[in-house]
Amino acid sequence: MEPLDVQHEGRTLRGTLHLPQSGPAPAVVLCHGFSGTRTEFGHMFVRLGKRLAERGIAAYRFDFAGGGESDGAYADITVSDQVAQALAALDEVGRHPGVDADRLSLLGMSLGGLTASLAAAKRPVRSLALWAPAAIAVAAEVNRHRQAVIAEHGYDDFGGTPIFKRYADDAESIDAFADAKGHTGPVLLAAGTEDNVFGPHVFDGYQDLYGDRLEYHRLDGVGHGFETVPAREHLLELTEAFILRHA
């Protein structure tokens, strides 16, 4: 495990690279969720990174600008900017001597899942893993309500984190499914049955988009954060197996 920073538009994005003992190795870039950090809930990205490195796969987890230890202000967040950051992270990881640049994959949680799906349409990756992707974050009806709240109050209070007009304006230009069409590889999709962010329409959108390349797992009785010990262990196991199969 070693630090690896990414330079993007005058900002330093700070990250951690888990490397296997031998290389060059396949690698997966991990994209965290809204207002999160590169450890993710329950240290899931740390746990996944260690497990993958033990199986010969490198894993890179980084803080998006404004999050964790990276430069920038979270008030400036937009989905398009996060996609650009994810692409910059892929490039940086691909340049590392311990990584095989032709065998890169992407994984994202929640807003990071939306980000990863959009980034995978812009850059060839071996596989794509989505944990409870927040396609709803750019849904037209959600954004209309958000714009109205912002017009009245100056920001939208999302669980204690303010969302500003810059984010909402950018969201209007994004179609979570149409803009993700470029990825042609296998896709893992995992979500809890009680997830109030990942609804049936989100699954339908990804099913229509990825077709028989989609491997879907419903985890019973858990919500957006996969909130039980067995669910989180199962999520790690199925993700590890998927990445290993397609590395």
Q: Domains, the chain, ranges and CATH?
A: 2-135+175-246 (3.40.50.1820)
Residue 141, pLDDT score? 87
Structure tokens at 129: 């893993």
**Residue ranges of E strands in 22-79:** 25-31, 58-62
Binning pLDDT at 50, 70 and 90, where does residue 201 land? confident
Q: Where are the alpha helices (DSSP H) in the chain?
A: 44-54, 79-95, 111-120, 140-153, 165-171, 200-210, 229-246
Residue 171, pLDDT score? 94
Q: Is the pLDDT of residue 86 over 90?
A: yes
Residue 74, pLDDT score? 85
Considering only residues 160 and 149, tell me which one the structure prediction assigns the higher pLDDT. Answer: 149
User: Are the beta carbons of 40 and 109 closer than 8 angstroms?
Assistant: yes
pTM for the whole structure: 0.95
Q: Is the pLDDT of residue 138 over 90?
A: no
Averaged pLDDT for residues 119-136 = 96
Phi and psi based region of residue 68 (left: phi greater than 0; alpha: psi -120 to 50; beta: remaining): left
Q: Is the pLDDT of residue 230 over 90?
A: yes
Residue 180, pLDDT score? 97
Q: Is the pLDDT of residue 75 over 90?
A: no
Mean of all residue pLDDT scores within the chain = 95
Q: Is the pLDDT of residue 52 over 90?
A: yes
Rank 143-147, 163-167, 236-240 by mean pLDDT and report only the highest: 236-240
Distance (Å, whole) CA 120 – CA 118: 5
Q: Is the pLDDT of residue 139 over 90?
A: no
Residue 123, pLDDT score? 95
Pairing, β 58-62 against β 156-158? unpaired
